[in-house]
Amino acid sequence: MLGSLAPQDEISEAEREAGLRRLIYEAGYSSATAALTSGVILTAFALHLGASNLTVGILASAPFLGQLLQAPAVLLIDRLRARKAIAVVSSVVGRSMLALMALAVFLPPSLAIAAVVFSQFVLCGLGAIGGCAWNSWLRDLAPQERLGTVFSQRTVYTTSVGPGAGLAAAFLLDRTAQGSGARDWAFAGLYLAGCASGLVSPFVVTRMPEPRMPPPIAGPSGLAALLR
């Protein structure tokens, strides 16, 4: 059952503890998504579609260019004051792009590459926006004295699931011939699996409580504060 996306004025200790447990194991789903669809897998996918070196470089730049959206994300969060909703919606929309990337193998080459580039930029851009909301939200949810413990436990899930998913992806691709129809299906399967895992993550996140943000502090507007 989906949880509410609205922030809460009060969070019980039981709700906080349940939220922190979900925060920890959610890392496994996010890690699996990244291992199956990014890094060397994305590069191999682009080359399989016939991408040029320039296109591969553009794809590699997407995560860094996407970080530029953190500045307007700060203004959005300050205005809406709904970090959970922003994080969940951006995650769902962004990771849905992985389904489009899975379908790209069945499109004409030029259209397929354009679909992958478009999807990657949407995914990374929305990831930067959602990440900005996510970091602020978790800072208020996890007690200061437990931040190190919580995030070290998240790291355990990340380092346990990520390498395993990456090795599985490498094994699958190694079992298919380069340029073959079987490899088309292999990449489609990897990106659909990554999409499914990525969409489980926001489902888990909806069941974590969000403390209501404190009232805005009197002072410069959000834009003026960023420009200072």
pLDDT of residue 195: 97
Q: Are 94 and 121 in contact (CB under 8 A)?
A: no
pLDDT of residue 123: 97
d(CA 120, CA 122): 5
pLDDT of residue 176: 94
pLDDT of residue 53: 95
- Tell me how many helices (H) and strands (E) the chain has: 9, 0
CA distances from 221 to 71, 80, 99, 186, 192 (A): 14, 14, 39, 50, 42
Phi, psi of 134 (to 5 degrees): -60, -45
Paired with 52 in beta bridges are: none
pLDDT of residue 131: 94
pLDDT of residue 228: 56
**Mean pLDDT (10-residue bins), the chain, 228 residues:** 79 94 92 95 96 96 95 92 95 97 94 97 97 92 88 90 94 92 96 96 93 77 55
Q: Are 225 and 219 in contact (CB under 8 A)?
A: yes
- Annotate 154-173 with b (16+ C-beta within 10 A) or e (fewer): beebbeebbeebbeebeebb
In this prediction the pTM is 0.90
CA distances from 178 to 22, 95, 175 (A): 40, 27, 10
Specify the residue for token string 């088309």: 184
C-alpha torsion 115→32→163→138, nearest 10: 120
Residue 189 in tokens = 């399967």
From the centroid of its chain, how far is CA 162? 14
What is the DSSP secondary structure assignment for residue 143, as one 8-state letter?
A: -
Residue 215 in tokens = 């009232």
d(CA 173, CA 97): 21
